[in-house]
Amino acid sequence: MARALTESGRIELRIKPREKALLSRAAALQHEDLTGFILKTVLPAAERIIERTERLELSERDSLRVLELLEDPPKPSAKLRRAAKRYREIFGRR
């Protein structure tokens, strides 16, 4: 579990001795120090998680529907017009 992130970028972890030994052994087998091994292993995983979370993939049908709506948007509903009017009353024209 992460304990602290200092201004220098240092991260301290609390892990069980067995877990540290396991990481150290894997690092040694890869001829890397523990920090390099952890970064080499964890950073790509973090990038994949962020990419997978932030990317929206649409089917071909949905992509075509989005393009269609962008090219020919529907007229605003009464509810949307009321919301826009209320927004302008509260925040003014922006």
In tens, the pLDDT along 13-26 reads 899 999 999 999 99
Q: Say whether pTM exceeds 0.85.
A: no
Average pLDDT, integer, range 84-90: 94
| Pair of tokens at residue 86 | 């209320």
pLDDT at 8: 75
Angle 31-34-36 from CA coordinates, rounded to 5°: 75
Could you give the CA distance from residue 6 to residue 71 in angstroms, rounded to a whole number? 49
In tens, the pLDDT along 28-61 reads 999 999 999 999 999 999 999 999 999 999 999 9
Coil vs helix vs strand at 89:
helix
Is the pLDDT higher at 40 or at 8? Answer: 40
